[in-house]
Structure 1
Amino acid sequence: MIDEHDSTQLKHALENQRRSITVSFPKNAVLTAIFLTGSLVNATAQTSLPEAIAAPGETAMLRLHAEGAQVYECKTSADGALAWALREPIATLFLDGKTVGRHYAGPNWEYIDGSAVVGEVVGTAPGTVANDIPWLKLGVTSRRGSGVLSPATTVQRINTVGGKLNGACYKAGTYESVPYSADYVFLRKG
């Protein structure tokens, strides 16, 4: 049985332990966050992109995740054969799981603040597996509005999953959509 003196000592010990935990937890959480952030920055810095889509001298300003589809059209080529041709991407852009824009033909990227950019492919690298559309480097050719995307000079499409259409097409003018996801990194000079 615990007497009153032992009970008081136990209460003080538990109180001191609780204070210690309360005080040290935020310190440990902050230190953990700092070390984790440092690790993520180093991991990001160490992750090298294929040379064809690298953008030396440019700084990443925004990274958005896209979920959508690559839409293909069956067309007759110059030699008279039918083949699938990319018509347009249709995707929703996400930041931290929230919808912040859209990606569509042009290619265009439009942010919720009204800013938008149009790009032109200047470099490609293969996707990770055969069914992944290629990674791209696109130079910004025009801008609309004033906002987050306005300073962008380059867009990189990385981490692609799916989106590639395989197989023959049999009737000109037909369409096929293939689901895909990717990350789009918007960069600016300097």
Structure 2
Amino acid sequence: MRVIPTLSLLLLGALSIPAGAAETTIPDALVAAGEKPVLTLHAEGAQVYECKIDKDGKLAWTFREPIATLFDGGKTVGRHYAGPNWEHQDGSGVTGRVVGTAIGATEADIPWLKLAATAHKGSGILADITTVQRINTAGGKLEGACETAGQFRSVAYAADYVFLKKE
């Protein structure tokens, strides 16, 4: 496990991580050996789900995409959206794919993730990122049956994204 410093989180005044949480223990499935954190950004937004037919032929909520604003010290510095993609205000961006997961703190929390970088754009702070960790998730989870195919539902969430690169 790896321990990294984090900030207390607040999501839209409704979801929160306990104040005073000074550090977060990273589950083994998310550790990026030989990499160092470059930047940690807080995200607030929504996980968007669509009502679709599942493998059993029943209508169920299926994850579609994230839509979130990225913050650094309370200031907006970028956005996170389908891909998954992260874009920084300096023009740099990174796209990733999930390579590791860990459960969230509660039943309502989306999982923590480890994502390997698959593409980059620009020459700013995200240009050399090799791994992204999604940690400290709050909310965002939607499971179960739904009634109408094609229906959408957004669920508020917050998370911290740790951007790492090879040492």
1:1-190 to 2 correspondences below 5 Å: 44=23, 47-190=24-167
- TM-score, normalisation: structure 2: 0.85
Count of equivalent residues: 148
What is the identity, as a one-letter code, of the residue corresponding to 2:143?
N
Provide the residue aligned with 2:17 in structure 1: none
User: C-alpha offsets along residues 151-189 of structure 1, whole Å, 9 cap, x if unaligned?
Assistant: 100000000000001342111100000000000000000
- TM-score, normalisation: structure 1: 0.75
Percent of pairs identical after alignment? 66
C-alpha contact (below 8 Å) 2:45/2:68 kept by paired residues: yes
Please state how far the C-alpha of 1:77 moved relative to its aligned partner. 1.9
5+ residue gaps, structure 2, are 7-21
Give the number of the structure whose residues are more often helix, by fraction. 1
Shifted more, 91-100 versus 71-80: the winner is 71-80
5+ residue gaps, structure 1, are 1-39
Please state how far the C-alpha of 1:133 moved relative to its aligned partner. 0.2
- Secondary structure (helix, strand or coil) at the match of 1:48 reads strand
* Over 6 Å off, 4+ runs: none
Kindly indicate whether structure 1 or structure 2 has the higher relative contact order, using CA contacts under 8 Å at least 6 residues apart.
Answer: 2
What is the identity, as a one-letter code, of the residue corresponding to 2:123?
S
